[in-house]
Amino acid sequence: MHPRELLPVCGILLLLIRGSEQGIHERRLLQDLFTSNYSRFERPVENETQPVDVKFGIILQQLIDVDEKNQVVNTNIWVRMTWEAYNLVWDPLEYGNVTTIRVPVNHVWVPDILMYNSASEGFDATFPTNVVISYDGSCLWVPPGMFKSTCAIDITWFPFDDQRCDLKFGSWTHDGQYLNLTEDSPAGGDTSDFIRNGEWELIGVPVRRNLLEYECCPEFYIDLTFTIHIRRRTLYYGFNIIIPCVLISSLSLLLFILPPDAGEKISLGTTILLSLMVFLLLVAETMPPTSDAVPLIGIYFVCIMCMCSLSVLFTVMVLNLHHRSPDTHHMPSWVKHFVCGWLAWILRMERPGGGVSRRIAMQRARLNDSKLETLDEKSRSLMANVLDIEDDIRMANGSANIMMTKMEENMPMSNVNLRYDIVCILKEIRKITSKFRRDEEENDVKNEWKFAAMVLDRFCFIFCILFTVGSTVGIMWSAPHLIA
């Protein structure tokens, strides 16, 4: 082999020799600690009656997902556990000032602490990292993990809700006499490195220590329950669900402004009702199928849908009154006095036609009737000199008899024709007069029905405005918070 080819091989060998020489003290320390009388199956206490004091804490890194439908919370957490091991103590001066060592977790005793309410498939979602051991026997183990825990989601105040999800940690086999579990910090979980979530705002992670006794075992068990208190951000739901719902519900008020003769009142109300049903289905897709509570936004949707249904019902009633006529319906007295009278006066409504009151309109109708009667009397006086009442009857029965009678009296034929024409004209005038009178009476009755429909339409309009505003303000005011 050429000497130049030997140079890289020699360099690699030198590096390996130097790397092995630098860990001689740590290797000797590991041999002295773990090859003599150490066993990772025994608790690191001098007396078997003493418990191992384990301080436990969590470092919340990220809130990944909150699944309301399956009631599962997915988080990224670093678990921090510290305890004292009497059989892992050494003098740093004897081992080249080595103060700490890193040992794989399967070579040293670690507390069997698990999350009780885990929803993960493997149950234990932590990564088996090394344990940091100091010369005074203190052990530090910080395994990270993706924890999936069960959480009872309360949707009563959705989307203005707060959720409190518990993470319950405790020893699986050691009771309180053998493992004393205490919190690392009284303030709870560490959130200094928390990554901000777009849907939820983190309020805090308090902790409480519980001592529980189970029916199966006489011993008591200790657990630490960390409560992740989060609050839903309402900006997304406000712009995508609440504001469109309020705008669509406001459109239902247009049902009472649209004229009845337009023919689009019922179709507009039905379209608005279907639009609200679509928004309700969108909200129901994100909610868990539970009957324990009804979400606040669901109550609001139900109120708005009831209001839209009432709007359609009121519109049908208004259209029914608007298109009534004296041929099909007779106006009751209570409609005239209550709807057209008192209710119209309360709503400050007057009959259309330039503000003319009913009294003036009735006076004008009487004046027209008097003029027609005067014209009729003049016609009668004009015909009295030409033809009497019996002649009128005979003319009504048949013109042939009149012609024969007048010819028998030796009267001129021209006068007979003139009298006959005048009687026919008078008869037609009477028919036209009676027709005008009937038409005016029918128009008066129709106008009464239309005015009653207008009054009822105005009353329903005011009622729906008050109902919409009242329900919106009442439901929103009952929410624990509106902006998060």
CB 264 within 8 A of CB 249: no
Q: How far apart are CA 157 and CA 223, in angstroms?
A: 30
* Residue 206: pLDDT band with limits 50, 70, 90: very high
> What is the number of other CB atoms lying within 10 angstroms of the CB of residue 36?
8
Which residues, 6+ apart, have CB-to-CB distance to 42 below 8 Å? Answer: 109
Q: Which residue has the higher pLDDT, 305 or 129?
A: 129
E strand or H helix that includes residue 119? none
Q: Give the span between the Cα atoms of 394 and 156, in whole angstroms.
A: 89
Average confidence (pLDDT) over 81-92: 93
Residue 393 has pLDDT above 60, yes or no: no
Q: What is the DSSP letter of 129?
A: P
Tokens read off for 474:
């009442």
Average pLDDT estimate for 21-32? 80
Of 44-48, 299-303, 437-441, least confident by mean pLDDT is: 437-441
- Provide mean pLDDT across the span 279-293: 76
Q: Hey, which bits of 153-290 come out as E strands? A: 162-171, 179-183, 200-204, 207-213, 220-232
Rounded Cα gap, residues 168 and 70, in angstroms:
19
Higher pLDDT, 226 or 481: 226
The two tokens of residue 116 are: 């009780």
Instruction: Report the pLDDT value the prediction gives residue 406, as an integer from 0 to 100.
Output: 47
Which pair of tokens denotes residue 241?
């669900």
Contact between 451 and 340 (Cβ < 8 Å): yes
What does the alpha-carbon distance between residue 224 and residue 166 come to, in Å, rounded to a whole number? 10
SS3 label, residue 257? coil
What integer pLDDT is reported at residue 382 of this predicted model?
A: 46
Q: 10 Å Cβ neighbour count for 137?
A: 15
Q: Say whether pTM exceeds 0.75.
A: no
User: b or e along 181-207 (b: 16 or more beta carbons within 10 Å of the residue's beta carbon)?
Assistant: bebbeeebbbbeebeeeeebebbebeb
Q: What's 196's DSSP letter?
A: P
CA-to-CA distance for 443 and 449, rounded, in angstroms? 10
Residue whose structure tokens are 């068990």: 221
Element of type H or E holding 395: helix 389-397
Q: Which two tokens stand for residue 159?
A: 């989307």
Question: What pLDDT is recorded for position 227?
Answer: 96
Query: What's the CA gap between 121 and 132, in Å, rounded?
Result: 28
Mean pLDDT of the chain: 81
| Average pLDDT value for residue range 375-389 | 48
Q: State what percent of residues in the chain have pLDDT above 70.
A: 81
Please name the residue that has the structure tokens 């005048």.
Answer: 422
Q: What is the DSSP letter of 37?
A: S
* Positions of E strands within 220-317: 220-232
Helix, coil or strand: residue 182: strand
Contact, 167 vs 126, CB < 8 A? no
372: left (phi over 0), alpha (psi -120 to 50) or beta: alpha
DSSP conformational letter for 18: H
Tokens standing for residue 396: 């009504």
H or E segment at 333? helix 333-334
Kind and range of the H or E run holding 81 = strand 72-84
Coil/strand/helix, residue 52 = strand
Convert the pLDDT of each residue in 338-372 to its tens digit. Answer: 888 898 888 888 876 544 445 545 555 555 555 55
94 with 22: CB under 8 angstroms? Answer: no
Confidence of residue 1 (pLDDT cuts 50, 70, 90): very low
Distances (CA, A) of 436 to 51, 366, 368, 427, 439: 110, 13, 10, 14, 5
407: confidence class by pLDDT, cuts 50, 70, 90: very low
CA distance 326 to 332: 12
